[in-house]
Amino acid sequence: MSILGLFNIGKSALFASQASLSVINNNIANVNTPGYARQDVVLQISNPIQGGGGHLIGAGVTTSGIRRSYDRFIEAQLTQQYQFLGRSTSLEKTLGGAEQIFNDASGAGLQKNLVEFFNAWQDVATAPEGQSQRIVLLQKAQSLVTNARRMESNLVTLLKQTNESIADMAGTVNTLATGISALNKKIVQLEAGLSSEQASDLRSQRDNLVNQLSELADISSFENRDGSLTVTLGMRNLVSGEKATPLVARTDTNGNTELSLDNINITALIETGQLGGLIAAREDIIDNSLVGLRKLVASLTKEINLQHQAGFGLDGSTNNNFFSPLQLATGGSSAGASITAAISDMSQVTLDEYDITFDATATNYTVTNRQTGSVVAFGLYSSGSTISFEGIDVAISGAITPQDSFSVSPLTGAVGNFGVALSDIRTIAASASAGELPGNSSNAQQVAQLADASIAALGGATFLQNYTGLVAHAGAVSAAASDSHTFDDSMLEAIRAKRESASGVSLDEEAANMIRFQRSYEAGARMIKITDELLQTILNL
Amino acid sequence: MIFDQLTRGMQRQTEDLGRLNQQLVTGKKINKPSDDVLGMRNAMDYRLNLQEIEQFDRNGQQASTILKFTETIMTTVSDTLSQLSSLVRDASRGMSDPASRALNEEKAKQLRDQLLDMANSKFGDRYLFSGFRTDTRAYDTTTYNYQGDQGTMNVMIDKGASVAINDPGDKVFSKVFSAPTVVQVGGNFVHYTPGAGTVTTVEIRASDDTTVLDSFSFSNTIQMADILGSAIAAQNGSRIDALATPFTMIVQNAANIQSVNQLRVKRIDDQKNLNISATNLLKDFLSKTEDADLTQVATEMKQMQVALTAMQISSSNMLQQSLMDFLN
């Protein structure tokens, strides 16, 4: 080796130290960057060269690449935990909102109104001829109506906000997916042709986006051979290479936001992440709180009206409704037919919802109880005839096309139409007999005793038991969501701690390395100086 | 890493402090259903029972007031009837003296009117003895006929338990004979025959128990008192004597009605006492379920404040430490 070769060794030492210092600098700069994985320079011995005497002499150091401290297993755990935490965060927030609507602890709920309503009937029963008792009864009934409607309106607003959040979040998913696809493109370009080198910074950026995406939805991802990442959602590709497929949010006929990828509805497949949480919370609120409240109000309307109709007012009038009568809501999908439904016998009405479906020939119909799943009526449909089942008459106008389906629900409008039908206190039917006015109050007693009656439509529970059940459910799901949020948060903290120890930047470690490479840089420089002095010596000969 | 842990720790402590603070402010440990689902359910049950008992108590109070008012009326009714009963004996004896006859006739009229007033007593707007026809006078002021019905009003004093708060006039002032009765008075046979409704027909027969000497009928004690007055004026001794038995019986009937009334009041009082113990018990349960133990909350809060301060101090010290500080 010539003396000039020493320059090269010194130079390689300088370059290696410089590269390491740059990486350390980058690590320190990114100490607080989310998702950043610590990097270090991989140093390698340069190929030796043959010196004088045929011996192989070392030729310094080269940098073979920059390595990212990355544990695939921990990253996978982290991604999953982000999904769980996202779900429990949404559930806690949304179900916590629903719980506040049923918060009888702060006097917001319906229990007080229900008890006061039935107590007011007892007051009327005790003094059936008293005017003030009747006025109070109407006031208490009105408070019950107002509060029930307020609760429903709050639930509907909460659901509307949830639907809006789902749509907004779909937008964020798309932004992140686009970001990942753009990074895919850059990573593939950068890594193409480099066998051992990875675009570490870009990968860290992409990991960060994947984690953010995981917080929103239960995505799965796998890396392709070219370094690009494919992200799937609901078994469809969200990101594939450079292409991001937009997640589309649409509002269905019930006002619920549905999500689709490639025109396939994947709403039901999204279970975790904040989206999964929102979808699950929405379902729980609709199926339990909203339908529960509507069913309670519908059964109250039905039972009170039936009993009230049997009695007589001070003016001798009878067969009056106390609350505005139940109305049936209809819906359906048909090219040319529409339906109208009316209650023919209130005592037969189960307060369940029904689906009427026609077969492929458009001649046979089947009526199914949506809650029990049982078929309550079926047969051959002749145009213009009435379909009757469980106290309900349905009339269809227009031409039926094959596979038409219609729905009839006594619940949808139960709270919306809830109101006190009576305005004249004399028409309150306290008496059981027209000839025993005004002292007979047995009908008022019967109404008051409905408070303790087992109601078939409420599964045999009393009105108040049913309501307590609604409160307990709202509380239980909210408590469960809160518990799982605490658990998921702790789990995430533990996994992040593991990730930090594997990939995180320690300022102390970086500082120590900085001194190390500063010194080796100085040593390399000194070597070049010495080589220079040696050359000077030779030149001075 | 350390920074993250410290922030999370402090956040958690602050949340806990907030929760305790809410308990202190509201005085309740259950501020929303999810704080304690089972506790909330129980608290709702307790509160429901308390509200129900409160209503039954209010009903009982109302019933008790009416029954006690009726009781004072019935005392006067009994007294009046006893006086009428005595008058029958006195009238029979003092018939020959015109002065005492006039006095007795006047007495009979007075007592009749008093009885009519009592029978038409009102509690508030309600006629007490008209059955369900509480807006109608029980007895007509000229014919003395009953205008009410047989309705009995009931008041709920507990789940599935109710107490009657009135007796229809027919039951108080009319019910005398339930079966045909024959009584021998001074050699005559007096036949009392209950007819349609509350009418009792009285036949005074001679000693052969066949020849009808006199006959009259009445439907209630007011009419009896009226007949007594007329009989005194007409010096009709046998008719006066014939009234003795019905008056004795109706005095007994009034006493029976009174004792039933007293039993009703007693029943309501018993229920009220039961309600008081139940209310106390439920309030105690409710308090244990939903009220916060303020001493405990305040102590926990103090502990938590100390822990939070310690964490804040230690974190500021820990975050300051870095190798960077030692490099010049």
The answer on A46 and A166 residing in a single domain is no
Name the domain count of chain A: 3
pLDDT of residue B328: 59
Per the CB < 8 Å rule, is B55 touching A515?
Answer: no
The answer on A284 and A162 residing in a single domain is yes
The answer on A228 and A103 residing in a single domain is yes
Q: Is A80 on the interface with B (CB under 8 A)?
A: no
Residue A424 lies in a domain: no
Instruction: For residues A337 and A198, give the distance between their C-alpha atoms in angstroms, rounded to a whole number.
Output: 63
Q: Is A116 on the interface with B (CB under 8 A)?
A: yes
Instruction: For residues A464 and A146, give the distance between their C-alpha atoms in angstroms, rounded to a whole number.
Output: 18
Residue A414 lies in a domain: no
DSSP string, B275-311: HHHHHHHHHHHHHHHHB--HHHHHHHHHHHHHHHHHH
Q: Give A-chain residues touching B62 at CB under 8 angstroms.
A: 126-127
The answer on A87 and A59 residing in a single domain is no
pTM: 0.85
Per the CB < 8 Å rule, is B34 touching A448?
Answer: no
Residue A422 lies in a domain: no
The answer on A483 and A399 residing in a single domain is no
Residue A419 lies in a domain: no
Mean pLDDT for A280-297 is: 95
Per the CB < 8 Å rule, is A511 touching B47?
Answer: no
The answer on A515 and A473 residing in a single domain is no
Q: Which of A33, A36, A110, A126 to mutate to test the interface with B (most CBs of B within 10 A)?
A: A126
Per the CB < 8 Å rule, is A439 touching B153?
Answer: yes
The answer on A126 and A114 residing in a single domain is yes
Per the CB < 8 Å rule, is B132 touching A437?
Answer: yes
- pLDDT tens digits for A325-376? 999 999 887 788 889 999 999 999 999 999 999 999 888 999 999 888 999 9
Instruction: For residues A141 and A120, give the distance between their C-alpha atoms in angstroms, rounded to a whole number.
Output: 9
DSSP string, A450-494: GGGSPBGGGTTB-HHHHHHHHHHHHHHHHHHHHHHHHHHHHHHHH
pLDDT of residue A194: 65
pLDDT of residue A176: 96
Residue A535 lies in a domain: yes
How large a percentage of chain A has pLDDT more than 90? 71
Find the CB nearest B156 among A431, A445, A464. Answer: A445
- Residue B65: closest C-alpha in chain A: A126
pLDDT of residue B153: 93
- pLDDT tens digits for A408-428? 999 999 999 999 999 999 999
The answer on A35 and A141 residing in a single domain is no
- Residue A433: closest C-alpha in chain B: B132
Per the CB < 8 Å rule, is B156 touching A125?
Answer: yes
Q: Give A-chain residues touching B327 at CB under 8 angstroms.
A: 511, 515
Q: Is A136 on the interface with B (CB under 8 A)?
A: no
CB atoms under 10 Å from CB of A250, counted, come to 13
> Given pLDDT bands bounded at 50, 70 and 90, which one contains residue A499?
confident
The answer on A368 and A307 residing in a single domain is no
List chain B pLDDT tens, one digit each, 328 residues. Answer: 677 777 878 888 888 888 888 888 888 888 899 999 999 999 999 999 999 999 999 999 999 999 999 999 999 999 999 999 999 988 877 777 888 888 999 999 999 999 999 999 999 889 999 999 999 999 999 999 999 999 999 999 998 889 999 999 999 998 678 899 999 988 899 999 998 888 999 999 999 999 999 999 999 999 999 999 999 999 898 999 999 999 999 999 999 999 999 999 999 999 999 999 999 999 999 999 988 888 888 898 888 888 888 888 887 777 666 666 766 5
The answer on A198 and A160 residing in a single domain is yes
Buried b (16+ CB within 10 A) or exposed e, A75-113: bebbbbbbbbbbbbbbbbbbbbbbbbbbbbbeebbbbbb
Per the CB < 8 Å rule, is B324 touching A442?
Answer: no
The answer on A402 and A487 residing in a single domain is no
Residue A436 lies in a domain: no
* CB pairs A-B closer than 8 Å: 146
Per the CB < 8 Å rule, is B324 touching A507?
Answer: yes
Q: Is A204 on the interface with B (CB under 8 A)?
A: no
Decide if A183 contacts A223 (C-beta within 8 A).
no
Find the CB nearest A448 among B54, B125, B156. Answer: B156
CA distances from B281 to B105, B278, B290 (A): 62, 5, 14
- Phi and psi, residue B197, nearest 5°: 65, -125
Per the CB < 8 Å rule, is A129 touching B290?
Answer: no
Residue A323 lies in a domain: no
Q: Give A-chain residues touching B25 at CB under 8 angstroms.
A: none
The helix or strand, by DSSP H or E, that contains position B235, with its residue range, turns out to be none
The answer on A8 and A139 residing in a single domain is no
Find the CB nearest A472 among B1, B33, B135. Answer: B33
Q: Give A-chain residues touching B58 at CB under 8 angstroms.
A: 123
Structural domains of chain B, ranges and CATH numbers in brackets: 52-279 (1.20.1330.10)
pLDDT of residue B51: 93
From A450, A467, A340, select the one nearest A395 (Cα to Cα).
Answer: A340
Instruction: For residues B77 and B138, give the distance between their C-alpha atoms in angstroms, rounded to a whole number.
Output: 15
Q: Is A325 on the interface with B (CB under 8 A)?
A: no
Residue A453 lies in a domain: yes
CB atoms under 10 Å from CB of A226, counted, come to 12
Residue A80 structural domain: 73-317+442-503
A 434-493 residues with CB < 8 A to B: 435-442, 445, 448-449, 452, 464, 468, 471-472, 474-476, 478-479, 482, 489, 493
Tell me how close the Cα of B109 comes to any Cα of chain A, in angstroms: 31
Decide if A208 contacts A239 (C-beta within 8 A).
no
Q: Is pLDDT above 60 for A196?
A: no
